[in-house]
């Protein structure tokens, strides 16, 4: 008799953004003439850069001619893109990577979800709280998170609260945690981590033989020169950290699908008998077995971001979104809201007024101002009493949303 993986049944019924979408959809059905503006789901609105579009056309033509057609690519990704990543994203920051340490994927969601396959099912995990739901959900599906308690916390997960009270700086745990997920610039709070704080985490990992899964999907939004773009800027990180990057927000690739993961050759985990096993060949084996490489067109599109024109075009789009973030911060503050993030990240994190619950705030804003945010509680226990706003709208939408919130407020 085929038995179901019952760990799935412990999960919250829906993925957070599906819940938000359903509520918005219900509101729209009941209010057909109302134009709802979404500053909720973190999807981009600006078109692909011209250099990227050109690369897509060129790749499409190549695929249409026998002499230049490409079938299966390497599961790990094409050399041209892996070399461009090393040369442009790491070398200028003094980080030297081998080409075999770079794995191209179809977006950071896949790899941040799949990476946990490399570790034992009963390793304990630690997450900053609030957090991107994929880290915990993917661990829960295999039973690693344990069971949910009455306060909506997983029994085998250590939470590091990040709230206004601790200025969103998570405290280094005083107990054993085998694997730590960090995301900086942070989704959802929009806050960043200093080199000094990041060094504490790397040292914790080295000292406790823990692993750090470091999600740097929003690094392109960092404006402050002192903020680290990569965990490998910290000495020792090559021994304990795996880093995830994405073109989704960097270059509007949410519909194109391309990102990459760095697995340094030195990163290892132990067997029960204490033998060290390098994770790089294990990840390659995983990818060769369950993945067949990213679309050739998407990889050529990503390569185009590293041309001089591509870089300039992408920089302009990021500046465009950061103007939205700046505007939101300013106007929210004028209205007396407590807001965080938004300076080195495309997210603004708001404390709901009078501490009203996130979902109630979401509902009221949707019904009264016709603006969609993401309820903080959806990102974990410490997100309760907050709401996330994204900078990925158009200027016009963002302006209009702020006007409506002002009128409602």
The H-or-E segment that residue 55 falls in is helix 50-63
Contact 385, 357 (CB under 8 A): yes
Task: Report how far residue 297's alpha carbon sits from residue 399's, in angstroms, rounded to the nearest whole number.
Answer: 35
Site pattern 313..352 for a copy of itself (x: CB under 8 A): ----------------------------------------
* Min CB(333)–a copy of itself separation in Å: 29
Task: Report how far residue 391's alpha carbon sits from residue 229's, in angstroms, rounded to the nearest whole number.
Answer: 20
Task: Report how far residue 183's alpha carbon sits from residue 167's, in angstroms, rounded to the nearest whole number.
Answer: 16
Given the complex with a copy of itself, which of 47 and 353 has the nearer CB atom? Answer: 47
* 363: contact with a copy of itself by CB under 8 A: no
Give the residue, chosen from 193, 211, 241, 372, that forms a contact with a copy of itself under the rule CB under 8 A.
Answer: 211
* 286: contact with a copy of itself by CB under 8 A: yes
Contact 230, 216 (CB under 8 A): yes
Stretch that binds a copy of itself, among 149-157, 207-215, 342-350, 371-379 (CB under 8 A): 207-215
Neighbouring CB atoms inside 10 A of 8's CB total: 12
Site pattern 378..397 for a copy of itself (x: CB under 8 A): ----------------x---
Phi, psi of 157 (to 5 degrees): -120, 135
* Min CB(290)–a copy of itself separation in Å: 3
* Min CB(249)–a copy of itself separation in Å: 10
Stretch that binds a copy of itself, among 12-20, 28-36, 88-96, 152-160 (CB under 8 A): 12-20
Give the residue, chosen from 1, 94, 224, 308, that forms a contact with a copy of itself under the rule CB under 8 A.
Answer: 1
Task: Report how far residue 194's alpha carbon sits from residue 203's, in angstroms, rounded to the nearest whole number.
Answer: 14
Footprint on residues 119-178 left by a copy of itself (CB under 8 A): 119-123, 133-134, 137-138, 141-142, 176, 178
Footprint on residues 246-265 left by a copy of itself (CB under 8 A): 248, 252, 254-257
Task: Report how far residue 134's alpha carbon sits from residue 332's, in angstroms, rounded to the nearest whole number.
Answer: 29
Residues 6+ apart with CB under 8 A from 229: 89, 93, 216, 219, 222
Stretch that binds a copy of itself, among 92-100, 153-161, 296-304, 396-404 (CB under 8 A): 296-304
Contact 227, 345 (CB under 8 A): no
Kindly list the distances between the CA atom of residue 142 and the CA atoms of 9, 10, 123, 221, in Å, as whole numbers in the listed order. 11, 11, 11, 33
Cis amide linkage into residue 36, ω under 30° from 0? no
Give the residue, chosen from 10, 15, 194, 351, that forms a contact with a copy of itself under the rule CB under 8 A.
Answer: 15
Compute CA 58 distance to the chain's CA centroid, rounded to the nearest angstrom: 30
* 6: contact with a copy of itself by CB under 8 A: yes
* Min CB(267)–a copy of itself separation in Å: 9
The string of DSSP codes covering 186-240 is: -TTT-----HHHHHHHHHHHHHHT-EEEEE-TTGGG--STTS-SSGGGSTTGGGT
Given the complex with a copy of itself, which of 285 and 403 has the nearer CB atom? Answer: 285
Number of amino acids touching a copy of itself (CB under 8 A): 89
Footprint on residues 185-204 left by a copy of itself (CB under 8 A): none
Given the complex with a copy of itself, which of 95 and 212 has the nearer CB atom? Answer: 212
Given the complex with a copy of itself, which of 4 and 30 has the nearer CB atom? Answer: 4
Site pattern 81..120 for a copy of itself (x: CB under 8 A): -------------------------xx-xx--xx--xxxx
Compute CA 310 distance to the chain's CA centroid, rounded to the nearest angstrom: 22
Give the residue, chosen from 93, 235, 290, 333, that forms a contact with a copy of itself under the rule CB under 8 A.
Answer: 290
Kindly list the distances between the CA atom of residue 224 and the CA atoms of 154, 190, 316, 322, in Å, as whole numbers in the listed order. 35, 13, 17, 13
* Min CB(168)–a copy of itself separation in Å: 25
């Amino acid at each position: 008799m085929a038995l179901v993986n019952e760990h799935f049944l412990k999960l919250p019924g829906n993925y957070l953004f599906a819940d938000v979408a359903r509520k918005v959809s219900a509101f729209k059905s009941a209010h057909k003439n109302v134009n709802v503006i979404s500053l909720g789901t973190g999807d981009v609105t600006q078109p692909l850069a011209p250099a990227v579009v050109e690369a897509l056309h060129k790749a499409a033509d190549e695929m249409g001619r026998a002499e230049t057609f490409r079938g299966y690519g390497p599961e790990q990704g094409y050399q041209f893109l892996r070399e461009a990543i090393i040369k442009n994203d790491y070398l200028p920051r003094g980080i030297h990577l081998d080409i075999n340490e770079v794995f191209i994927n179809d977006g950071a969601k896949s790899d941040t979800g799949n990476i946990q396959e490399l570790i034992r099912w009963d390793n304990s995990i630690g997450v900053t709280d609030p957090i991107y739901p994929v880290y915990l959900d993917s661990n829960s599906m295999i039973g690693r998170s344990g069971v949910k308690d009455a306060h909506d916390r997983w029994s085998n997960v250590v939470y590091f609260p990040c709230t206004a009270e601790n200025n969103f700086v998570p405290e280094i745990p005083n107990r054993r945690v085998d694997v730590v997920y960090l995301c900086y610039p942070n989704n959802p709070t929009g806050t960043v981590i200093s080199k000094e704080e990041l060094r504490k985490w790397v040292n914790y990992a080295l000292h406790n033989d823990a692993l750090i899964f470091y999600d740097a999907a929003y690094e392109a939004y960092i404006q402050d020169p002192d903020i680290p773009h990569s965990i490998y800027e910290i000495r020792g990180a090559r021994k304990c950290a795996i880093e995830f990057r994405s073109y989704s927000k960097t270059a509007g690739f949410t519909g194109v699908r391309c990102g990459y993961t760095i697995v340094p050759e030195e990163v290892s985990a132990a067997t029960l008998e204490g033998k060290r096993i390098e994770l790089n060949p294990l990840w390659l084996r995983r990818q060769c077995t369950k993945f067949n490489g990213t679309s050739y067109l998407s990889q050529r599109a990503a390569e185009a971001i590293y041309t001089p024109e591509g870089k300039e075009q992408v920089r302009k789009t990021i500046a465009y979104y950061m103007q939205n973030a700046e505007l939101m911060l300013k106007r929210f503050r004028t209205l007396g809201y407590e807001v965080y993030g938004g300076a080195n990240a495309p997210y603004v994190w708001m404390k709901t007024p009078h501490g009203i619950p996130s979902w109630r705030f979401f509902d009221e804003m949707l019904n009264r101002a016709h603006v969609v945010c993401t309820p903080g509680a959806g990102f974990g226990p410490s997100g309760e009493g907050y709401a996330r706003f994204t900078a990925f709208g158009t200027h016009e939408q963002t302006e209009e949303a702020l006007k409506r919130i002002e009128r409602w407020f």
